[in-house]
Structure formats: structure tokens, C-alpha cells
Amino acid sequence: MADKKVTLSVFTADVGGFVGHTSSHPEVLDAARETLASLGKGRIRDFQVLRCGDDLSLVMTHSMGVDDRGIHGLAWDTFLACRAVAEDLKLYATTRGMLDDFTGNIRCLGPGAAEMEFAERTSEPILIFLANKASIGAWNFPLFKIFADPFNTAGLISDPAMLNGFTFRVADLKEGLSIDLNTPEELHILLALAGSTSRYVITSVSRRTDGEVAAVVSSEKYDVHAGRIGACSEPALLVRCQSGFPAVGEVMEAFSFPWLVSGWMRYSHIGPVMPVPFYEANAARFDGPPRVISAGYQISDARLIGPHDMFDDPGFDETRRTANQAADYLRRHGPFQPHRLAPEELQYSSIPIILNKVKERFKKI
Ligand code: F6R
Ligand code: MG
């Protein structure tokens, strides 16, 4: 059975920005393609290289299943080759996104991994979403809309395969635990948790009728700054579509509202997620606003037929305009909360250093 299945793996890493944290350099993307073409020969079925802002993504198909040491090693070696090119060009912050030693699994070493294994259907449409300047809980909102909200997804009430709903796996980042919640009956519990995006992260969704995997999120990242495993940035999301899963258009519909996420400048601000075509995934204004791109594929005998640039559609023009209006409104708050995150939500900050400078001057009230 296992040999009939295909694994789709998407690895993301920041190996150095161009310019600053805005975008990626073409030579780095070329290095990724060249390395995967040579080192991946005989090990993977197909690959593609994508990028969103300054984050690089390696898309691979293979038959090794999820969390395979060899496949993770291939991604690691590819990122190292890319980092060497980035260092040569003196691109920005080349050493921040990855630790130095590979220990068998790329998760927890800096890069993110979103992987799913499935038996290919007669036709297998899949959407890959990549974010930039958005933290890990960013997908909670669209995942809820796609798989639990009939006002977004008409198929939840009209496709018999979806009528029983979906199971959401939710990770508690603080306690290192996870819980499975079934919708529609546990919808309110799901919202109670998933609404707290800095602590609870939806990591996967499966169809209740048969347990088929519907969506996966790259959930863990090593927070290089804080020196711990935690919610970091630039998550990837994979969603299977059509014939018993939400239609492509239903999945895309969830992105028509520029919801607010943590991230943006210095990962310290909330901002709207702006869906953009590939060529507009350059986070230049205040290192943002946060971006999302969507690469559409048909998987055909493990070949990646695509990508189709899904947000290259005037249907999202108003979403982008609203995102810009929200960005203007939020930016006028400058350093004030809630535009700036509460101190306990900051991924990294030099505020403790600043506070230290004046600590002697605090007097008892
Ligand atoms: C990192 C990011 C950026 C940086 C900011 C400051 O991807 O989101 O907003 O945090 O540009 O960068 P440094 O501290 O390197 O000057
Ligand atoms: Mg980055």
C-alpha cells in the first residue's frame, strides 16, 4: 500500500534576504534548483522552488513518507548550498534562519516542514500557501473558514463526503500537547482555542468520513533568537481540493478577507495578510504588510503539474486594497498596542536591554 502513496513535502527557510528582509535573490533560487536536480536524482520524483518575500521553499514529491531522514537531509543540504550563495553575495541575515548541525529532522532547526502522504486520486488538485512576515498561528483563521464555515464553503452542506465535517488537530505551543476536535459538533471549542493564535495552532485537518488528510501546516520552528522551540514565522499550508474536499474556489475564498496576524516589522506587530501574485511577494513597506502566495498544482503520478499563480486574479484586488487601508490605519498607532504586540507575545525584542539601562531609576509608587 505504502508504495502506491505519494508524499508531498514543502520545506521553507530563510537563508538570507535581498534587500534586507524584503525578497530573495535569483541566484539563491537557481542554487536551490541546481542542488535539488543533482542531489535529488533517484531520491525524489519531482521538485520545484518557490519563494515568498525572503523565504525560500522547496516543494518535493517522493515515496518515502513524512519525516524521512533522507528527504529532510536533502532539504537541509539544499538550504546549505543556498546559504553559501547568499553568503557570497553578502545577502542579509544568512545565519539567522538555520542552526548549524543537522540532526535527522529539519523541524526544530530553523526551517519549517509541511508534509502529507496520500494515495493519488484520479485527479489531485492541491494548493500550497506560503506566508511571509506572519507567525505560525496565521493559518488558524482561513483553516476554520475553509473546513468549518458553511458561509465560506458551500460544499460543507451540499457534498455528502463533507457533511460529517472535519477533524482539526490543534497544538498547544505552550504545553507541547495536541488535541483532536471534531466539527461541526465541537466548533465552539475549536474557536475558543484557535482564536488564541499565539498559543493554539491548527496543525492538520482530516475528513471525518474516511480519515483522509485534507490539510497540513508547518507547525514547529526553532526560535533562534529565544533559543527554544516555538511559534516562529513563515508557515506553509498544503490543502487538497475538490471531490469530497472543499473546491479550489472555496479554499481561495477564505483568503478574500485580509485578516490580522502577528508578524510584520520585527515580528512585533499585527498587520493584515495581503494575498499577492508571486511577483508581488516582496515585503517592502515596514517589512510588510504580511504576504501570502498560493501555488496551485495538479499532482500527476507524483509529478508537480504547475504552479499556477492562484492570487494572480483581479478577484483579489479589493482584498489587497482593504489590506492597504488596514495597514494605513494600523501604522498610525506607531509603537502603541495593539499594533505593537504585547511584551509577552514578542518573539524577540531588545526592550529588556533598554529597560535594563533605566532600571535603577524606577522608584516605588
Ligand atoms: C525579519 C523581519 C524584519 C526584521 C527587521 C529588523 O524577517 O521580519 O522585520 O526583524 O528588518 O532586522 P534586523 O534586526 O536584522 O536589523
Ligand atoms: Mg524571513
Residue 282 parent element (H or E):
none
Residue 267 Cβ contacting ligand 1 at under 6 Å: yes
Q: Return d(Cα 311, Cα 309) in angstroms, integer.
A: 6
The three-state secondary structure class of 277 is coil
> Measured between alpha carbons, how far is 123 from 16 in angstroms, rounded to an integer?
37
The string of DSSP letters for 164-200 reads T-EEEEEEETTTTEEEEEETTTTHHHHHHHHT-TTTE
- pLDDT band at 108; cut points 50, 70, 90: low
Asked if residues 221 and 112 have their Cβ atoms less than 8 Å apart, the reply is: yes
The confidence score (pLDDT) of residue 234 equals 83
* Ligand 1 site, residue 25, Cβ cutoff 6 A: no
Residue 182 has pLDDT above 70, yes or no: yes
Per-residue model confidence (pLDDT) at position 348: 65
Rounded Cα distance between 1 and 82, Å, is 36
- Supply the residue whose CA is at minimum distance from atom 6 of ligand 1: 266
Question: What are the φ and ψ backbone dihedral angles of 75, each rounded to 5 degrees?
Answer: -65, -45
Please give the model's pTM, rounded to 2 decimal places.
0.95
Is the distance from the beta carbon of residue 21 to the nearest atom of ligand 1 less than 6 Å? yes
pLDDT of residue 353: 84
- Nearest atom in ligand 1 to the alpha carbon of residue 20 is 11
pLDDT tens-digit readout, 322-358: 999 999 999 999 999 999 999 888 766 677 888 899 9
CA separation (Å) from 20 to 56, 111, 149, 222, 265? 15, 19, 39, 21, 12
Cβ of 154 below 6 Å from ligand 1? no
Q: Where are the domains of the chain?
A: 5-343
For 1, residues 6+ apart whose C-beta sits below 8 A from its C-beta are: 119
Burial class (CB in 10 A: 0-12, 13-18, 19+), 45: middle
Confidence band, pLDDT 50/70/90 cuts, at residue 75: very high
Q: What percent of the chain has pLDDT over 70?
A: 94
Cell of 104: 535527522
- pLDDT tens column, 49-61: 999 999 999 999 9
Angle ∠(225,200,75) on CA atoms, nearest 5: 55
pLDDT at 232 over 50: no
| Residue 53 alpha carbon, nearest atom of ligand 1 | 7
**pLDDT (0 to 100) of residue 230:** 42
Tell me how far the alpha carbon of residue 187 lies from the centroid of ligand 2, in angstroms.
33
Does ligand 1 have an atom closer than 6 angstroms to the CB of 147?
no
pLDDT tens sequence across 119-144: 999 999 999 999 999 988 999 999 99
